[in-house]
């Protein structure tokens, strides 16, 4: 994408079902293929998204199919931004145990947040106006050797 390229966006409203994660994965993978994500970056971005969505569905919305998960993505020159919002009661991210601490190595708690932070350049947690959790993830992109926008 050139500096004057438009921002590519995707906006989804998903049910609180794990099978709906694939819909968002496909949308973000397609967005990445239209932009400047290389294959490795696309893989890590989709993995971080999967973790954020699984947390929103399981921990945020507590598998309540009446609740929704919102996903907003924007791909602009050099940056991919993803926001995931649930309709749950929110949580305190500082209370999530560090999965790399010796006492937590065999516990699954906190791994999704750990992975999101490893795969994205910036991860911020907040509250939605309705009280749910909002996760903002940003990945600074390296130009791919060949992207759709730069075909020879």
| Among candidate residues 116, 84, 86, 82, the one with its CA nearest the CA of residue 9 | 82
Give the ranges where the chain is alpha helix by DSSP (H): 21-34, 39-55, 111-119
CATH number belonging to the domain at 8-147, selected among 3.30.565.10, 2.60.220.30, 1.20.58.110, 3.40.228.10: 3.30.565.10
Written as tens digits, the pLDDT of the chain (152 aa) is 555 667 899 999 999 999 999 999 999 999 988 877 888 999 999 999 999 999 999 999 999 999 999 999 999 988 999 999 999 998 888 888 788 888 878 887 778 999 999 999 999 999 999 999 999 999 998 766 544 444 43
Per-domain residue ranges of the chain: 8-147
pTM of the complete model? 0.87
């Amino acid at each position: 994408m050139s500096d004057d390229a438009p921002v590519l966006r995707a906006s989804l409203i998903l049910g609180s079902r794990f099978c709906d994660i694939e819909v968002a994965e496909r949308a973000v993978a397609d967005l990445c293929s239209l932009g400047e994500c290389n294959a490795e970056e696309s893989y890590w971005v989709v993995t971080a998204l999967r973790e954020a969505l699984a947390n929103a569905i399981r921990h945020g919305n507590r598998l309540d199919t009446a609740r929704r998960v919102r996903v907003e993505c924007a791909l602009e020159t050099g940056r991919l931004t993803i926001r995931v919002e649930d309709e749950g009661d929110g949580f305190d991210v500082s209370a999530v145990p560090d999965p790399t601490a010796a006492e937590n190595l065999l516990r699954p708690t906190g791994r999704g947040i750990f992975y999101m932070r490893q795969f994205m350049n910036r991860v911020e947690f907040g509250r939605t106006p309705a009280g749910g959790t909002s996760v903002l993830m940003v990945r600074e992109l390296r130009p791919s050797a060949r992207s759709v926008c730069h075909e020879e």
